[in-house]
Chains A and B, each alone.
Chain A
Amino acid sequence: MKVTFKIWRQEGPKDKGAIRDYEVDGLTEEMSFLEALDHLNELLVLKDEKVIAFEYDCREGICGQCGVFINGRAHGPHDNITTCQLHMRSFNDGDTIVVEPWRAASFPVIKDLVVDRSSLDRIIEQGAFISAKTGTAPEANAIPIPKEISGRAMDAAACIGCGACVATCKNSSAALFTSAKINHLNTLPQGKAEEHKRVAEMTFQMEIEGFGSCTFTGACEVECPEGISIINIAEMNARVTKSRIFG
Chain B
Amino acid sequence: MNPLFFRKTIIAATGLFLCVFLIVHLSANCILLLPEDIARDLYNSYSTTLRESPLIKIIAYVLYVSIILHAFYALLITLRNRKAKPQKYVVNHSNENSTWTSQNMGLIGTLILLFIIVHLANFWARIKLGMGEDVRLDHMGNKDVYEVTYSLFQNIYFVIFYTLISIPLALHLHHGLKSAFKTLGFYHKKGLKILAKISLIYAIIMGVGFGIIPFIVYFK
Contact = CB atoms under 8 A, between A and B. Distances in A.
Secondary structure at the A interface, as helix, strand, loop or mixed, is mixed
Interface stretch (B17-25, B149-157, B160-168, B179-187): B179-187
Given A213-B80, A215-B105, A98 B90 contact: yes
Contact of A72 (B84, B93, B192): B93
Interface centre among B86, B105, B181, B182, by most chain A C-beta atoms within 10 angstroms, is B182
Contact of A237 (B5, B81, B86, B89): B5
Nearest to B106: A215
Interface residues of A, number: 50
B2 A203 contact: yes
A173 interface: yes
B3 interface: yes
Given A100-B89, A231-B189, A244-B1, A216 B182 contact: yes
Contacts of A98: 90-91
Interface string B64-95: 00000000000001001101111111111110
A106 interface: yes
Given A105-B84, A207-B2, A231-B192, A71 B93 contact: yes
A212 B80 contact: yes
Nearest to B180: A216
A214 B89 CA distance: 19
Nearest to B5: A240
A216 B185 CA distance: 12
A222 B181 CA distance: 21
A235 B191 CA distance: 13
B186 A234 contact: yes
Interface stretch (A28-36, A48-56, A164-172): A164-172
Contacts, number: 138
B48 interface: no
Contacts of A203: 2, 5
B8 A213 contact: yes
Contacts of B94: 72, 168, 170, 217, 219
A214 B185 CA distance: 13
B96 interface: yes
Interface string A211-236: 11111111100110000001111110
B175 interface: yes
A213 B81 contact: yes
Interface centre among A73, A173, A233, by most chain B C-beta atoms within 10 angstroms, is A73
A180 to B, nearest CB: 13
A199 B105 CA distance: 28
A211 B97 contact: no
A58 B179 CA distance: 36
A204 interface: yes
Nearest to A73: B93
Contacts of B84: 104-106, 171-173, 210-212
B81 A241 contact: no
B35 to A, nearest CB: 44
Given A213-B80, A233-B182, A72 B5 contact: no
Contact of B187 (A19, A211, A231): A231
Interface centre among B4, B184, B192, by most chain A C-beta atoms within 10 angstroms, is B4
A204 B5 CA distance: 9
Nearest to A109: B87
B98 A237 contact: no
A63 interface: no
A71 B181 CA distance: 33
A194 interface: no
Nearest to B182: A234
B103 interface: yes
Given A8-B90, A234-B182, 11 more contacts: A100-B91, A103-B87, A173-B84, A212-B77, A213-B4, A214-B8, A214-B183, A216-B175, A217-B94, A217-B98, A237-B5
8 contacts: A6-B90, A105-B84, A173-B84, A215-B102, A216-B178, A216-B182, A219-B94, A239-B185
Interface of B: 1-5, 7-9, 77, 80-81, 83-94, 96-99, 102-103, 105, 175, 178-179, 181-187, 189, 192
Q: Which 9 A-B pairs have the closest CB atoms?
A: A238-B185, A212-B84, A72-B93, A171-B81, A212-B81, A234-B187, A222-B97, A234-B182, A217-B102
